[in-house]
């Protein structure tokens, strides 16, 4: 497919990338390109300038702090996470990354691209909301931190605005996590996905694919009845399409919430 | 540094060095097929689903329709043309032939590159590992059973 004409730059530093992004309103950051290049083919996105982040070393890599906090650079690929010894500190990360699409996409797709594209069917937005991740955003005015639950603003919209970059994602220590989904074919696009994470004796649930952003719920306990009523009381109004009716998505949200919570509680 | 709409890039493909000026919007698969005439890698869906365009870039399996040519500047690329040497099929290609692992053959270049990537990392993959490794490659003749058999045989 012939793309619309576009300019390209591959800066070596965050400062240079920010300058390029700020110099043109039509500039967009290019991470792994596994979403952006395809939407450019469809003309659903038509950036004037692509700022390729591939050469910026400080955006890549996984560090495990002495307090157990994992810091994942925005340009870290799914394959990097699946293969990382450090990332095993929070096993759910590699487990979920290993069910995104296929080998080729996992080799180039990045954690930062996944959350910044914020497609409502993506795997990582609900997961990062449930496990209480924090995003570090850098812009012309400096750095700021935003919790995952405040990061996702709407379909394809996040707190990282024009001229800004997501630098890294920080994940607190923990192991009582679960993830359940019904995808279109194995490892395909999710019809509904649910992430769960234990916090003390309580649980945080984040449901994906049913709204423009992950729906965060905090059931009173991990008991089935408490989880069911939390999902029911959320009055979900999911979209319908050829894959599932709105009713079926509501049904899946409840069932998958039970599965994700059971997995999380079993590992706590 | 300024953004540019054209750039001269240098790549090494199957051991041969190529230097060309290309537009920034040019997909890597078009650069490989149309500019360099290496038509072994195929374009099936052009939406990132089918995997017929799979190549190895610096040893990493990618779909070359989801990467720009300019992104590959300086890279070492391996395509299906690099598998055989001196007219002799390599072990994996021979196993595909022996096990009738192709019908129309359109997906074969991508299947071979995905299997190449798998067997470099994993000398004796299980059937599940083989199936997961070709998940990004669609065979619309649905001849997966023989493809899996061929990769299994090549691993032995």
Instruction: Say what the pLDDT of residue B1 is.
Output: 82
* Minimum-distance CB partner of A38 among B4, B23, B66: B66
pLDDT at A268 over 90: no
**Same fold: B6-82 with B91-155:** no
Question: B6 to chain A, minimum CA–CA distance in Å?
Answer: 8
Alpha helices, H only, A102-245: 103-108, 111-117, 124-130, 148-151, 224-233
Q: Cα(A38)–Cα(B138) distance, rounded to whole angstroms?
A: 18
Q: What was the pLDDT predicted at A1?
A: 86
Out of A8, A41, A186, whose CB is closest to B70? A8
Contact A219, A202 (CB under 8 A): yes
- The domain limits of chain B are 6-82, 91-155
Cα–Cα distance for residue pair B76/B45, rounded to 1 Å: 25
Q: Which residues contact B151 (CB under 8 A, 6 or more apart)?
A: B92, B95, B115, B118, B119, B125, B130, B133, B134
Contact across the interface for A186 and B135, Cβ inside 8 Å: yes
Q: What is the pLDDT of residue A137?
A: 98
Candidate CATH numbers 3.10.20.30, 3.40.50.2300, 3.40.50.300, 2.40.50.700; the one for domain B6-82: 3.10.20.30
- Tell me the sheet residues that pair with B61: B56
By C-alpha distance, the chain A residue nearest B67 is A33
CATH top-level class of B91-155: mainly alpha
Nearest chain B CA: its distance from A80 CA (Å): 12
Mean pLDDT of chain A: 97
Complex prediction ipTM: 0.98
- Point out the residues of chain B with pLDDT beneath 70: none
pLDDT of A201 reads: 86
Report yes or no: B71 at the A interface, CB cutoff 8 Å.
Answer: yes
> Chain A contact for B48, CB < 8 A?
yes
Residues in chain A closer than 8 A to B46 (CB atoms): 1, 41
Q: Which two tokens stand for residue A8?
A: 């390209």
- For residue B15, the model assigns a pLDDT of 98
Query: Measured between beta carbons, which residues in chain A are less than 8 angstroms from residue B63?
Result: 104-105
Query: B61: Cβ–Cβ under 8 A, 6 or more apart, which residues?
Result: A103, A104, A107, B54, B55, B113, B114, B117
Cα distance from N-terminal residue to C-terminal residue, chain A: 49
User: The pTM is what?
Assistant: 0.97
pLDDT for residue A77 is more than 90 = yes
How close is the nearest chain A Cα to the Cα of B72, in Å?
11
Q: Give per-residue pLDDT as tens, A218-267.
A: 999 999 999 999 999 999 999 999 999 999 999 999 999 999 999 999 99
Partner-chain contact B136 A38, CB within 8 Å: no
DSSP string, A217-268: E--SSSSHHHHHHHHHHTT------SS--HHHHHHHHHHHHHHHHHHHHHH-
| A105 neighbourhood in chain B, CB within 8 Å | 48, 63, 66, 136
How high is the pLDDT of residue B53? Answer: 98
Nearest to A133 by CA among A33, A227, A31, A216: A216
Looking at the complex, report in whole angstroms how far the Cα of residue A71 sits from the nearest Cα belonging to chain B.
24
pLDDT in tens, A191-228: 999 999 999 889 999 999 999 999 999 999 999 999 99
The answer, for A175 touching chain B at a CB cutoff of 8 Å, is no
> Quick check: A113 and A169 in contact, CB under 8 A?
no
Please name each of the domains of chain A with its CATH number: 7-52 (3.30.43.10), 59-171 (3.30.465.10), 177-267 (3.30.390.50)
Q: Inform me whether the C-beta atom of residue B129 falls under 8 Å from chain A C-beta atoms.
A: no
């Amino acid at each position: 497919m012939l793309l619309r004409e576009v300019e390209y730059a591959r800066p070596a530093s965050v400062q240079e990338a920010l300058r390029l992004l700020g110099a043109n309103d039509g500039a967009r950051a290019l991470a792994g390109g596994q979403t952006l290049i395809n939407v450019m083919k469809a003309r659903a996105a038509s950036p004037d300038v692509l700022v390729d982040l591939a050469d910026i070393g400080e955006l890549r890599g996984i560090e495990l702090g002495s307090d157990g906090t994992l810091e994942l650079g925005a340009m870290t690929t799914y394959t990097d996470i699946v293969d990382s010894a450090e990332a095993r500190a929070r096993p759910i990360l590699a487990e979920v990354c290993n069910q995104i699409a296929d080998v080729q996409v996992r080799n180039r797709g990045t954690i930062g691209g996944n959350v910044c594209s914020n497609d409502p069917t993506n795997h990582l937005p609900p997961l990062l909301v449930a496990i209480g991740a924090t995003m570090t955003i850098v812009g012309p005015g400096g750095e700021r931190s935003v919790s995952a639950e405040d990061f996702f603003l709407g379909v394809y919209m996040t707190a990282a605005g024009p001229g800004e970059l997501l630098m890294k994602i920080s994940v607190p220590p923990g192991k009582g996590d679960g993830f359940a989904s019904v995808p279109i074919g194995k490892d395909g696009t999710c019809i509904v996905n649910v992430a769960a994470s234990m916090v003390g004796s309580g649980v945080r649930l984040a449901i994906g694919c049913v709204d423009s952003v992950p729906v965060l719920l905090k059931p009173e306990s991990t008991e089935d009845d408490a989880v069911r009523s939390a999902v029911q009381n959320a009055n979900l109004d999911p979209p319908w399409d050829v894959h599932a009716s709105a009713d079926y998505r509501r049904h899946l949200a409840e069932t998958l919430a039970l599965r994700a919570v059971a997995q999380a509680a079993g590992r706590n | 540094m300024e953004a540019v709409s054209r750039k001269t890039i240098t790549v090494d493909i199957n051991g041969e060095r190529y230097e060309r000026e290309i537009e920034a919007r040019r997909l890597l698969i078009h650069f490989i097929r149309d500019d360099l005439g290496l038509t072994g890698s195929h374009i099936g869906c052009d939406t990132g689903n089918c995997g017929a365009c799979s190549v190895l870039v610096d040893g990493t399996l990618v779909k070359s329709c989801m990467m720009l040519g300019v992104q590959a500047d300086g890279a070492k690329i391996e395509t299906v043309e690099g598998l055989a040497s001196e007219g002799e099929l390599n072990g994996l290609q021979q196993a595909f032939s022996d096990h009738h692992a192709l019908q129309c053959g359109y997906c074969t270049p991508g299947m071979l590159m995905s299997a190449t990537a798998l067997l470099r990392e994993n000398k004796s993959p299980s059937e599940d590992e083989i199936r997961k490794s070709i998940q990004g490659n669609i065979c619309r003749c649905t001849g997966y059973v023989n493809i899996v058999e061929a990769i299994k045989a090549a691993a032995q």
